[in-house]
Copies of this chain bind each other. A is one copy, B any other.
């Protein structure tokens, strides 16, 4: 039994690059930025990630994996669909609390400048979120907890769009409460019983 090992270089590169993409965008950071922060040189980065495109793909893959794990944790924790939606929104709020934009929301803005494989990976992330949301919404309708106005997949697109947009705008104001207010309003609009406040 050993102490937990420090994260390997590749992981630390991903940590720094992830934060830089989430705050500055794909075209707003460089290998030099990452290298300087880690106290290594640019060629060392290229040893771990041969190209910026490769690094970008690894970023999305890790983010997607972690996000999917968080969704599984929400399912495993149980609770009614309303609670699950609130916890889903909390995942976004946690990101914003770290002064970051959703990685894939940020990359969606940069999409036209990204390598094709990164573009595809961003869309797959959105697909994944929408599929999970639609399942929760379906379950909520079956139990009577959620309103059934329109197809769940359409509602799921609404939820994803609203949360991504609320992050984008709230970050501009450096105001996470602005995000939370929109998220609360969004979830309330999906509940079977209209809420006040």
Contacts and interface: CB of A to CB of B under 8 A. Distances in A.
A138 to B, nearest CB: 17
B158 A113 contact: no
Interface of A: 23-25, 27-28, 101, 105-106, 108-113, 119, 122-123, 126, 149-150, 154-155, 157-158, 160-173, 178, 181-182, 185-186, 189, 194-197
A149 B194 contact: yes
B154 A108 contact: no
B25 A108 contact: no
Contacts of A170: 161
Contacts of A108: 168-169, 171-172
B110 A25 contact: yes
Contact of A169 (B101, B161, B173, B197): B161
A100 B169 CA distance: 18
Contacts of A24: 110, 112-113
A155 B164 CA distance: 17
Contacts of A181: 154, 157
A126 B161 contact: no
11 contacts: A25-B25, A27-B28, A28-B113, A106-B109, A109-B168, A123-B172, A154-B185, A155-B185, A161-B162, A162-B165, A164-B165
B182 A158 contact: yes
A112 B28 contact: yes
Given A154-B181, A162-B166, 19 more contacts: A24-B112, A24-B113, A109-B109, A109-B168, A111-B171, A123-B173, A126-B169, A126-B172, A149-B196, A150-B185, A150-B197, A157-B169, A157-B178, A157-B182, A158-B166, A158-B186, A161-B165, A162-B165, A164-B169
